[in-house]
Structure 1
């Protein structure tokens, strides 16, 4: 059995994060185009010049950085004279660093790393809004300098499988306008009123350099989101939001099941994955039928009872919030 790490010892993850934090890009304090369209509150902290409260960063991001640096090194050796590699641009006062621009055929190319699961989502639904705004912001900066951009390209690389997927589009005025509208709303808003757009226990907040500042004030030993009640202590409002949200989920689930049931009339397969079916919608339909094996809990418990033993169990804390009739409420 391996000996536990001491406080003085550092893991490989620690070393990777330490390396990443020494990079000039990691020490950048200004809002960058890669953050436009993400969390409004994080953007607000950047624009206000707030000093980060957390180191930020993640091993996944470091892996993406390593890929970028490998590509950049190779391009520096092979790029044509008019190509641009890791080129700094500024548009609407927002700084950015495009991965590369190929003068022939006038393509602006950005590289993104992701998981294979999310890559499947991108293949069907296209790039995230923030990715589209970022590359269009880069394109706008180049065009403003008199550099033609015929296409914008995003190369997605799955970190866990190595699969590469290339998305190709054209620069659009609409994407730039939407990004600038978003920036204007963030700039015009009071910092404390900007929405926290991600969950405090999720990866985006967990790796955010403003995590502690953003969620500061939550009730000790409670969910970080309890700070929302501290800021707006209106129990009726939050209870109504909970009820409305659950009603909307129930209604949406019913609509989903109805549509799935209706479309089952078109299902061509009884096992495996079907061919993609075009029904006139902007995306095709595909059925996947699996037969997973699950542990028969009832049988396991019965076998243990026969043997005069209790099955092994683990305990965990579950917090359930429901609605109940008030004692003095009308029936």
Structure 2
């Protein structure tokens, strides 16, 4: 049966378009995968066939922004505004790894890359700087250009928030150590058996959900259980996993306590009672940003009272899947032993 307009949504149209693009059809390991999930990199390097279509609307929006920027740059280059020897949407290769850089400015010896992100992630980037994967990817482009005889002095990454339109530019000098670290990472991935490569993202993360190897990666999980149950299948040491859970919760509690104490102590130097203010601290390499706001939130207690006064039940929503609560309690007489009688 032919697909009708009513059932073929705009999202379907965009995703189908994205899946037919040359980059989406690329099966070889690329520079954009440097420093990210080691198991996905392992599948790529091994030439493993994809099990999932992959792709996301966020990626489509990012692609559209890249193509719009490239079109403008090429028009300006044709008009003589941008020098003819600048590179736009240029394919490069280094150490057998393929990549496509966004722009190289010959006059300033700068490699410029465009990244789209969310506003939430952009705020994190401003504090922590680019992740290792972005630094390795852009430095891989730079290494490829240097191998071609060009000079690369600066790496520039323009981050654009898809939901707000805000831009933040990061600039740094080209550092060969990033290239060495990236190649060492690839060598380690190649040398490690696929089944022993770690899964560097959680199965419910956006990275995993749109990964072309998702089904293969989490294959073997217990039916109707969390995909991470495959970790137990691979290493059925219940005591070890329970110890890890207990230790993680203890560290989390300690970290939360430390965070509250530090935040409370630093409130002594907060200069503002509203809005945002930056405070530089001698001997500390980051700046403190104090933001004081007064967000309005739903008063759930009052809502329940209002519904009760009206003689109506508070509307609730039942989850599609049961919620699992796992506690660590002292052992008693009534204990279920997996594989035993309990």
TM-score w.r.t. structure 1 length? Answer: 0.93
For 1:123-162, what aligned pairs fall within 5 Å after superposition? Answer: 123-162=126-165
Give the equivalent residue in structure 2 for 1:279.
281
**2:170 & 2:90 partners in 1: Cα distance?**
21
Give the equivalent residue in structure 1 for 2:37.
39
Give the equivalent residue in structure 2 for 1:64.
62
Give the equivalent residue in structure 1 for 2:340.
none
Deviation at 1:6, TM superposition (A): 7.3
> Per the alignment, do residues 301 and 163 of structure 1 end up closer, same or farther by CA in structure 2, a change over 3 Å counting?
closer
Give the equivalent residue in structure 2 for 1:23.
21
Deviation at 1:100, TM superposition (A): 1.3
Give the equivalent residue in structure 1 for 2:176.
173
**1:33 & 1:282 partners in 2: Cα distance?**
30
> Per the alignment, do residues 146 and 235 of structure 1 end up closer, same or farther by CA in structure 2, a change over 3 Å counting?
same
Give the equivalent residue in structure 2 for 1:261.
264
Residue aligned with 1:287, SS:
strand
Q: Which moved more, 1:162-171 or 1:10-19?
A: 162-171
> Per the alignment, do residues 301 and 94 of structure 1 end up closer, same or farther by CA in structure 2, a change over 3 Å counting?
same
For residue 324 of structure 2, the aligned residue among 315, 319, 324 is 319
TM-score w.r.t. structure 2 length? Answer: 0.90
For residue 246 of structure 2, the aligned residue among 219, 243, 246 is 243
For 1:171-320, what aligned pairs fall within 5 Å after superposition? Answer: 171-273=174-276, 275-280=277-282, 281-316=284-319, 317-320=322-325
Deviation at 1:222, TM superposition (A): 0.9
**1:126 & 1:247 partners in 2: Cα distance?**
29
> Per the alignment, do residues 164 and 306 of structure 1 end up closer, same or farther by CA in structure 2, a change over 3 Å counting?
closer
Residues 166-213 of structure 1 deviation map (CA, whole Å, 9 limit, x = unaligned):
211111022112111211111111110000011111110011000111
Give the equivalent residue in structure 1 for 2:49.
51
Residues 34-72 of structure 1 deviation map (CA, whole Å, 9 limit, x = unaligned):
000110000000000000001111111111111111222
Deviation at 1:94, TM superposition (A): 0.9
Q: Which runs of 5+ in 1 are unaligned?
A: none
Give the equivalent residue in structure 2 for 1:13.
11
Residue aligned with 2:204, SS:
coil
Q: Which moved more, 1:95-104 or 1:159-168?
A: 159-168
**1:74 & 1:312 partners in 2: Cα distance?**
51
> Per the alignment, do residues 314 and 188 of structure 1 end up closer, same or farther by CA in structure 2, a change over 3 Å counting?
same
> Per the alignment, do residues 107 and 304 of structure 1 end up closer, same or farther by CA in structure 2, a change over 3 Å counting?
closer
**2:275 & 2:106 partners in 1: Cα distance?**
45
Residue aligned with 1:276, SS:
strand
**2:309 & 2:12 partners in 1: Cα distance?**
50
Q: Which runs of 5+ in 2 are unaligned?
A: 335-342
Provide the aligned length of Structure 1 versus Structure 2: 324
Residue aligned with 1:311, SS:
coil
Residue aligned with 1:105, SS:
coil
**2:91 & 2:316 partners in 1: Cα distance?**
56
Residue aligned with 1:319, SS:
coil
